Amino acid sequence: MEQISTAESTEAAERASLDARSLASLTEVSRELDSSYRNMQEQVLRLRAELAISRSARLRELAEKERLLGRLASLLAVLPGGVMILDGADTIRDANPAALDMLGEPLLGETWPQVAERNPELKDNHGGQRQLSMSSRPLEGDGEQVVLITDTTELHDLQAQLGRRQRLAALGEMAARLAHQIRTPLSSTTLYLAQLGRDDLPAEQRTKICDRLAGRLQHMEGLIESMLSFVRGGSPQMRPLLLRDVMTALEAVVRPTLPAATSFTVTPIDDTLSLSGASEDLIGALANLVQNAVDVAGDDVRIELWAGATSHNSLQICVRDNGPGIAPEVLPRLFDPFFTTRAQGTGLGLAVVARTVSHHGGEVRARNRLQGGAEFLIDLPLLDTAATCGGAVVSSTLNNAERANA
């Protein structure tokens, strides 16, 4: 009995100890749960605060976007230019009032080709009263594009008015210069005519006066012809020409007009070189260069004219003189219309030369020579048929070009 009582006491003690440990464990778990709950409550409160701040910021952002959208819609509504949105199939999905006014209804749901077809003002060759221009830009995303329509009628009218005013200004300047240039030879002509009216005038003196009178009249004719050549413009009628024939005709035109003390030399021209051009215009331009050399070089002027191939598809004509050369500040403006450094000059001779060369697909330039004097270089394209000539001829001509440019 005593042993049974001891065992029961031990078992009871163990149960008591186990209960105590279980109670302690439960107490610890309870404390941890309580701590976790408080942490979760704090996190929930913090998240609620952050969410409230984010929601407030989002609402402000949405309100700002709505305000901007409203402002953009108002701007599009009052914009003087037409704005349309086209989808990937070129169907108009949206349009502002200006687009409706310019292009007419219906627009929404119509395709752009249909709208363009019924509005010929969008075409460049339209000759009506209204002019419209169109430009488009792709939008990022689903293939849409924005189309801008602008009424350019006023701009076209202003450009036309400006063009007319510029032409009138050029015409006025030309008329003023022509009147100024003609006044001097006209005064001389009047004096010569008054002298011819004298009954006691000797026949020899009468002949001299008639010669001078003819010279003054030729001078006035040259002034008028320069003005008309510059004003006429237009492209000349081109035909195949042999360069040698052009130079031969130039000599026939120029030599009789040169002063007696003038030396005019033309180098031999290769008889295989040809170009496409207007013979009279080329001769007139080259004669202008020769006359220009005579005018600036003074007495005992020496003029050299060289022409030949510079490559297999181009040729060059060079006019040289032994005059005083060209001032450096004058070179950039040498071919400008109405620019002249001579009191009796019209400022049109070299401008006509530059325009004639340009019409023939070439270029003209001027420079001073190291030996003294000036030279004008005209580069023109050769005809394709010139390429069929023998290689020795082209090579020889190129060698001549190198020697001439030395």
pLDDT of residue 326: 85
What region does 263 belong to: left with phi over 0, alpha with psi -120 to 50, or beta?
beta
Q: What is the Cα–Cα distance from 254 to 282, expressed in whole angstroms? A: 13
pLDDT of residue 363: 92
pLDDT of residue 233: 57
**Cβ-Cβ contacts under 8 Å for 100 (sequence gap 6 or more):** 82, 107
**Cβ-Cβ contacts under 8 Å for 297 (sequence gap 6 or more):** 303, 321, 322, 323, 324, 373
pLDDT of residue 123: 67
Q: What is the pTM of this model?
A: 0.47
Give pLDDT < 50 ranges for the chain.
386-406
pLDDT of residue 315: 92
Q: What is the DSSP letter of 106?
A: -
Token pair listed for 279:
């013979």
Backbone angles phi, psi at 286, to 5 degrees: -65, -40
**Is there a contact between 309 and 273 (Cβ–Cβ < 8 Å)?**
yes
pLDDT of residue 377: 94
> Residue 268, preceding bond cis, omega within 30 degrees?
no
Token pair listed for 110:
């119509």
**Cβ-Cβ contacts under 8 Å for 299 (sequence gap 6 or more):** 259, 261
Token pair listed for 385:
């048929």
pLDDT of residue 265: 87
CA atoms within 13 A on the CB side of 401: 20
| Helices 349-359 + 203-232 axis angle, to 10 | 40
Q: Tokens 């952050």 label which residue?
A: 50
pLDDT of residue 404: 38
Nearest to 332, CA basis, from 379, 366, 378, 286: 366
pLDDT of residue 385: 53
pLDDT of residue 401: 38
For residue range 276-293, list pLDDT tens digits in order.
988 888 888 888 888 888
- Rounded to 10 degrees, what is the CA torsion of 109, 113, 116, 122? 130
What region does 393 belong to: left with phi over 0, alpha with psi -120 to 50, or beta?
alpha
Q: What is the Cα–Cα distance from 375 to 394, expressed in whole angstroms? A: 24
- N-to-C CA span, the chain: 148
H helices within 79-152, ranges in order? 97-103, 112-117
pLDDT of residue 319: 92
For residue range 214-250, list pLDDT tens digits in order.
877 776 776 676 566 656 655 667 889 999 999 988 8
